[in-house]
Amino acid sequence: MGDCHPLLVEVYYDTRSGEDQEQWVKLYNACLGDIDLGGYSLGWSGASDTSGTMDLSGTILADGCFIVGGPMSTSENDNPMLDLAMDFNPDIDKANDPGNRVALFLGPAVAIMPATVPVDAVIYGNNNDEMLVDAEGGIPAPHVGDAGDQKSIRRTAVAGPTWIIESNPEPNVCPPF
């Protein structure tokens, strides 16, 4: 399978009443075989490149999705069927100035440093004044703006990345394109 790795495909970070224990991230496996997430971690950031991190565990089936987050699953966060129920602590940052990022890393969370290049990332918000790095090691303009209450940011194609603000988050639909 070479360098085939999971992709970030949807991020839900801003509920109507409060984000604690209701945020989620959807990963997609576009590879031909299953992927063990034991060697991957997530990092999310705003003013600091490592505002929060978490180690992942579990397996994404080939052409399948995997939902990390919660651990609450309610109508407030579109009732995700969580594969890995974990609280994002601290919460994933809302998109304000400066911009923010959710990134997927190969390796444990303790190894994530400001210069660590992720295997996949989405930068969102009004700007990238914090110079957050994408999966190519570059410092791009944000891929997408701020989702706002009860919306998500969603990838629209495997190649790209192309990101949009999704008015109707669908955590339990896979693949999302």
Got the DSSP string for 52-102? EEEE--SEEPTT-EEEEE-S--SGGGT----SEE---SSPPPPS-SSPEEE
Q: What is the pTM of this model?
A: 0.94
pLDDT at 130: 85
Q: Where are the domains of the chain?
A: 7-166
List the alpha helices (DSSP H) in the chain: none
Q: 106-162: per-residue pLDDT in tens?
A: 999 999 887 789 999 999 999 998 888 899 999 999 999 999 889 999 999 988 779
For the stretch 5-62, pLDDT in tens is 999 999 999 887 777 899 999 999 999 999 999 999 999 987 655 689 999 999 999 9
Question: What is the Cα–Cα distance from 130 to 151, expressed in whole angstroms?
Answer: 24
Nearest to 162 by CA among 170, 153, 175: 153
Please tell me whether residue 14 adopts helix, strand or coil conformation: strand
